[in-house]
Amino acid sequence: MSSSNPHFCDLLTFNTLALPCQAKNFVMLSDLGQLQGLSTLLKKCQKPVHDNEPTKSTQDNLTNQANETNQPHQTNQPSLQTHWNILGGGSNLVLPKVLHQPVLHIQLKGIHLLDDQGLQNDQSVIKADKSTFYRIRVAAGENWHDWVTFALNKGWYGLENLALIPGSVGAAPVQNIGAYGVEVAQFIESVDVWNIETEQLLTLSAQDCDFAYRNSRFKRAHYSNEIIVAVNFALPKAWQPVLTYQDLKPLAQRYLNPSESITPHDVYQLVCEVRQRKLPNPALIPNAGSFFQNPVVPHEQAQALKAQHPNLVCYPQADGTTKLAAGWLIDTCGWKGKRLGSVGMHANQALVLVNPDGGHYDDVMTLADAVRHDVQTLFGVALQIEPICWMPDSSTHHTA
């Protein structure tokens, strides 16, 4: 059967939470030549909605789903609502038991060092200076950690802090993945997308992508017709380590000592060691990594919480706000290592929701709601779910 033809697929092994999900119409994208046909297929899955009706779309970062309600405009002309899901590595995803709408699995491969002209024709896209940056085009279906390792071994540095993050390259800009003081947006020059509606390949500058903390344009319903096919990176030739996080303190101390030196390989190795120590391997204990975002609150609120809870773990931000450690909040509420039915919060890292005993969508959401309720009650802080939650075809929406 051609991968271009929709067919049934059990997605149990396609998501790191190991949630059972029957995809009734599964399509694999492994060649750009399939894009034209995909547009025809996916356009059939759109329906007109009016501007004052809620819209739903999904795209993964892995994978991604964004649910928004459009504000009424002066006119009430119908627009198109998308009904498909885009699946990357499945590492940042909560799946329902059944999906009738098409699931598009991105398997595009290839890593190419670009010349001065690169592969971009849009003159509005700002191109990095080749004399100070390595410019590399990476297909969306490449494994993220494999790409980080490949870049390191090629001498293309900067991504070391993002090592061992599961998922695909195409999913990375959707969520603007980040770890240990680094966000992927810092190294993205542009993103290549296929627009289902116009049937065109477009190159979006980093500015066009509207990157923010764990957010981007690709999580918004208005841009749900865009399929990420490649990411263009600009990695600086003059490497500077980012060692601000406590876990990287041993390297920070060495770096400040004139008699010692560190390399990108040192950072990469330590990041891998820390992640392996703190986070469970999804192959052994199903999980989706950090299940809640670190909440960002006004400085005054953080100070008030600090007065009540002197051990509160928090990080002042450049804009005057304060980021709170969601794991500490959850741990303090007593959820670290606690189970609720088939699922629970990990014993070594309260921020990670694990599924050791074959739980499903409703089990995950019930636990997530209970954790959020307790954190809200004790601290007055609302936690946001970090993974993308694909809704069942007919169910109550869980805010994500």
Which domains can be identified in the chain, with CATH numbers? 7-106 (3.30.43.10), 111-236 (3.30.465.10), 246-275 (no CATH), 292-384 (3.90.78.10)
Q: Quote the crossing angle between the two packed helices 144-154 and 264-278, to the nearest 10°.
A: 160
Listed residue (365, 353, 344) closest to 326, CA to CA: 353
Listed residue (222, 224, 219, 258) closest to 388, CA to CA: 219
Q: What is the pLDDT of residue 68?
A: 28
Q: What is the pLDDT of residue 3?
A: 53
Task: Give the number of C-alpha atoms closer than 13 A to the C-alpha of residue 71, restricted to the C-beta side.
Answer: 1
> Catalytic residues, which ones?
214, 290, 386
Place of tokens 């741990």: 331
Task: Tell me 155's DSSP state.
Answer: T
Q: What is the pLDDT of residue 346?
A: 96
Name the pairing type of β-strands 54-60 and 85-87: unpaired
What global pTM score does this model have?
0.79
- Residues near 204 by Cβ (< 8 Å), separated by ≥ 6? 125, 190, 191, 192, 193, 217
- Residues near 307 by Cβ (< 8 Å), separated by ≥ 6? none
Please list the residues that pair with 246 across neighbouring strands: none
- Residues near 102 by Cβ (< 8 Å), separated by ≥ 6? 6, 25, 26, 27, 41, 42, 45, 83, 84, 85
Please list the residues that pair with 236 across neighbouring strands: 133
Reported as type and span, the H/E element at residue 235 is strand 226-236
Reported as type and span, the H/E element at residue 328 is helix 326-332
Task: Tell me 223's DSSP state.
Answer: G
- The one-digit pLDDT tens for each residue of the chain (400 residues) are 345 688 899 999 999 999 999 999 999 999 999 999 888 888 776 655 444 443 333 333 333 332 322 233 333 444 445 568 899 989 989 999 999 888 999 999 999 999 754 444 343 345 566 789 999 999 999 999 999 999 999 999 999 999 999 999 999 999 999 999 999 999 999 999 999 989 999 999 999 999 998 899 998 866 678 999 999 999 999 999 999 998 999 999 999 888 789 999 999 999 999 999 988 999 999 999 999 999 999 999 999 999 999 999 999 999 999 999 999 999 999 999 999 999 999 999 999 999 999 999 999 999 999 999 999 999 999 999 999 899 875 332 222 3
Tokens linked to 108 = 């595009």
Q: Decide: residue 298, CB within 10 A, 0-12 exposed, 13-18 middle, 19+ buried.
A: exposed
